[in-house]
């Protein structure tokens, strides 16, 4: 029983994530890529007169089912069978977080930042609202995210996906070193 609550090592989680590529292709010639669902939801709810949002989003409704599945998977793995222990990051990372004023006592996200009270501060606005905006804007501008470019695109040896993945990491590293620490100090 205890095993259900434990996190999975990378060599279990990674191959299962990778197997979603052939599974989606085999079931219906579908390409893994989750950021597309954001466009679909925009198209379904408020397309306005925007050309990019006026397309037959229902053709890709499979992806909304896939995304709903991810939410359920998150509920099972992160709520019902949540790991009671802190994320086992390295000791250097614990030191880094302490220097940022965070402790890693529990959960998958730092509770000091990701809570409803912080949301209404400048810190929360930048981390959650601006951060979310960048995720939605950047993935669509870049034509994919970590799944569509980073896993599917690289699996199919698509060089634009390699450029995209390198860009994701450069952006993330820049912010992790030189922006996030200052926002957290606000």
Does the footprint of other proteins cover residue 57 (CB under 8 A)? no
CB nearer other proteins, residue 78 or residue 101: 78
One of 16, 122, 182, 186 touching other proteins (CB under 8 A): 16
Name the one residue in this structure whose structure tokens are 């991810």.
70
One of 85, 121, 122, 179 touching other proteins (CB under 8 A): 179
- Tell me which residue of 67, 61, 31, 70 sits closest to 43, measured CA to CA: 61
Does the footprint of other proteins cover residue 17 (CB under 8 A)? yes
Does the footprint of other proteins cover residue 132 (CB under 8 A)? yes
Among residue numbers 72 through 111, which ones bind other proteins (CB under 8 A)? 72-79, 82, 87, 89-90, 92-93, 96-97, 104, 107-110
Long-range own/partner contacts, residues 92-97 (CB < 8 A, 24 or more apart): none
Does the footprint of other proteins cover residue 123 (CB under 8 A)? no
Does the footprint of other proteins cover residue 169 (CB under 8 A)? yes
Task: Give the number of other Cβ atoms within 10 Å of residue 147's Cβ.
Answer: 21
Report d(CA 96, CA 169) in Å as an integer.
19
> Shortest distance, CB of residue 162 to other proteins, whole angstroms?
9
Burial class (CB in 10 A: 0-12, 13-18, 19+), 156: exposed
Report d(CA 33, CA 134) in Å as an integer.
17
* Residues sharing a CB contact under 8 Å with residue 28, sequence separation 6 or more, in sequence order: 62
Does the footprint of other proteins cover residue 170 (CB under 8 A)? yes
> Shortest distance, CB of residue 24 to other proteins, whole angstroms?
7
One of 1, 2, 27, 56 touching other proteins (CB under 8 A): 27
Does the footprint of other proteins cover residue 166 (CB under 8 A)? yes
């Amino acid at each position: 029983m205890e095993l259900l609550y434990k996190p999975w090592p990378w060599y279990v989680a990674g191959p299962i994530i990778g197997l979603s590529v052939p599974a989606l292709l085999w079931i219906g010639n579908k390409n893994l890529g989750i950021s597309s669902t954001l466009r679909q939801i925009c198209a379904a709810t408020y397309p306005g007169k925007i050309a990019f949002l006026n397309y037959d989003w229902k053709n890709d409704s499979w992806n909304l089912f896939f995304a709903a599945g991810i939410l359920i998977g998150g509920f099972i793995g992160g709520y019902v069978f949540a790991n009671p222990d802190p994320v086992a990051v390295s000791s250097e990372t614990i030191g880094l977080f302490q220097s940022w004023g965070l402790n890693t006592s529990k959960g998958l996200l730092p509770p000091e930042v990701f809570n409803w009270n912080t949301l209404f501060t400048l810190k929360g606005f930048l981390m959650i609202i601006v951060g979310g905006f960048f995720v939605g804007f950047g993935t669509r501008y870049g034509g994919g995210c970590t799944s569509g470019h980073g896993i599917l695109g690289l699996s199919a040896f698509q060089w634009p996906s390699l450029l995209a993945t390198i860009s994701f990491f450069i952006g993330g590293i820049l912010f992790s070193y030189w922006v996030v620490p200052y926002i957290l100090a606000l």
